[in-house]
Amino acid sequence: MSTESNKAEPNEADSNSGLLGTLLALFDIRNVIGALLSIYGVILLLMGLFGDPEVEKTGGPNANLWAGIVLLVIGAIFIAWGVLKPVVPDAPHPGDKE
């Protein structure tokens, strides 16, 4: 019996790597949040580097620069999390009728 269950596992893995797996990985909420945070981080980083630092309003530090760096780091963490631990769809069971 154990050889039959071992033979079934590669078939389940093959069925999970199709279009559904690609769509789930692409539209995973971690990737969407990471991309948005990274985009905003790049914008703030560029504004911090090339824009007016407005140190009078912030009391010294360049707020745009530091906020951009923090957003880039957090966005990279979310994207790395989505890449390193991707969503794997469950294989349909033969007895399920949906």
Counting the structural domains of the chain, the total is 1
User: What range defines the domain where residue 57 resides?
Assistant: 18-84
- Give the integer Cα–Cα distance in Å for 21 and 50: 41
pLDDT tens track for 13-22 = 455 567 877 7
Domain membership flag for residue 94: no
Query: How buried is residue 98: exposed, middle or buried, by Cβ count under 10 Å (0-12/13-18/19+)?
Result: exposed
Q: Pick from 91, 89, 71: which is nearest to 79 by CA?
A: 71
Domain membership flag for residue 8: no
Give the model's pLDDT for residue 3.
52
Give the predicted TM-score (pTM) of the model.
Answer: 0.69
Domain membership flag for residue 11: no
Taking residues 55-74, what's their average pLDDT? 93
For residue 9, pLDDT beyond 70:
no
- Give the integer Cα–Cα distance in Å for 93 and 61: 57
- Give the integer Cα–Cα distance in Å for 94 and 85: 27
